[in-house]
Structure 1
């Protein structure tokens, strides 16, 4: 085939009719081909998206099954080892024995007598401490002068063991509920103050400049730029503070200044060598910590929708 023939073939197309088309018809044909290509691309995108969603569902199902199965397997292994005396049941009673003790304590009301005060100390002391820490952290993060004035002081006080301050609180307020609540308050306050200041400082300066460009100044700047930008750090601090507060409230309940609380239950069970009740106290403390952390995670997804991914 000569060069002239090939050129003629390319110009006319495979059906030999393109040369007879008007410019408008050729434009319509080009648009149709473009739309067909675009439709194929959209179809492939939809298929890939469906496959990704199906894969995500499978992974979520797998994670849920693993999260349930792993503890069950460990408990069954513990039960078998205790029954076969592979481990000493005097120190590691079988899970069924612990559950039986839990049922008895629930029925008699003994568990409520200890779980109630612990939860009250956590919610009151921890809630007030978290609120105060967030407010102070926002102020210090937004004000260079306040941070210069109080930053070094808080940095020096934060590493002090909060349980070491408890005897001073007992001397001042006596063996009442107030020292325990203040100990939890101090613990959560410092954690939240540090986390909130870090959150304010971590805000991208471009966001602050954009807010100023759109007229966000004063309280509007704080409400729409600073507070949303710091909230992820605030929730991270809340989760950390919750775990720390649980440790501190349990520790202060170990002391002779308390005759109620899950910490007292654990300590008293150790002194009387009743391991079943000791493990019940540990179990309930773990449940309280897990429930509070889960509530915080759910609240974060609700209040910060841009972080749900």
Structure 2
């Protein structure tokens, strides 16, 4: 009897795994098919002049322009600085935001001292702060890095504090019961409990930082970067290069988000789906 029940259980597990694998293949096919169909529709409409190709050039023309820009090095001369600004400014801002968020979430006094100040500073548009940074540091790399730093710092600080506060009190009690004090309490209770919120903040901060650095590079303070490429292409009315810049920005944002998501899967195995 137990053998029959075990066989039925194993068969049910195999069937569930087969269903999940089929659903994953379907989801992947839909994820690929949707943009491909959109591009095909765009190509057909542009070639049939249903849409104005001066403003919406065919995807094949955009692709050809992108290949030419990559071969000449022009694309990398803009993509490289944008990526560097995101990684350096965003990375430093994320680390600082997590550290400050952990301290504020763990210390009632520190949160009382800094919470109202950060709550007042966070809603300020980061683009509006950029002219002040330019006045202080001049048209150098520092204002651009600081704009990204400030953006990621506040998002990570808010999410990390929320993560610390969201930890179940029973986990704190369990930690105390097992003698978790000081660094051990931080390592085994606070940090693991806050990490899901940290990764959620990282994904949000990545998208916001891409928007901010693109807007910052629109200004005359920059002659490199994908934002500058888009703005300059608009001024010179070269829509193919404009779309190339948009596509590369989207690819960079998607790639960074993918890295963050994979890192979350590896570091937080209990949250795997």
- TM-score greater than 0.5 by the shorter chain: yes
String of CA shifts for 1:153-200, please: whole Å, max 9, x gaps: 000100000000000000000000000000000000000000000000
In the TM superposition, residue 38 of structure 1 has moved relative to its aligned partner by 1.8
Matched residue, 2:110: 146
In the TM superposition, residue 42 of structure 1 has moved relative to its aligned partner by 1.2
String of CA shifts for 1:227-260, please: whole Å, max 9, x gaps: 0010000000000000000000000000000000
Matched residue, 1:239: 203
Find the aligned partners of 1:294 and 1:183 in 2 and give their Cα distance. 23
Matched residue, 2:47: 83
Matched residue, 1:225: 189
Matched residue, 2:161: 197
Matched residue, 1:212: 176
Rg (Cα) greater in structure: 1
What runs of 5+ residues in structure 1 fail to find an aligned partner?
1-36
Matched residue, 2:57: 93
1:126 aligns with 2:59: no
Matched residue, 1:6: none
Please give the secondary structure, in 2, of the residue aligned with 1:285: helix
The answer to which structure, 1 or 2, has the higher relative contact order (CA under 8 A, 6+ apart) is: 2
String of CA shifts for 1:7-53, please: whole Å, max 9, x gaps: xxxxxxxxxxxxxxxxxxxxxxxxxxxxxx22221111111111100
Find the aligned partners of 1:129 and 1:90 in 2 and give their Cα distance. 40
Matched residue, 2:127: 163
Find the aligned partners of 1:49 and 1:255 in 2 and give their Cα distance. 58
In the TM superposition, residue 213 of structure 1 has moved relative to its aligned partner by 0.2
Find the aligned partners of 1:98 and 1:154 in 2 and give their Cα distance. 43
Find the aligned partners of 2:249 and 2:92 in 1 and give their Cα distance. 20
What runs of 5+ residues in structure 2 fail to find an aligned partner?
none
Find the aligned partners of 2:103 and 2:33 in 1 and give their Cα distance. 46
Q: Could you tell me which of 270, 275, 284 is aligned with 2:234?
A: 270
Matched residue, 2:139: 175
1:104 aligns with 2:60: no
Q: Could you tell me which of 296, 303, 306 is aligned with 2:260?
A: 296
Give the TM-score normalised by structure 1. 0.88
Give the count of matched residue pairs. Answer: 273
Give the TM-score normalised by structure 2. 0.99
How much is the aligned-residue C-alpha RMSD, in angstroms? 0.5
Matched residue, 1:43: 7
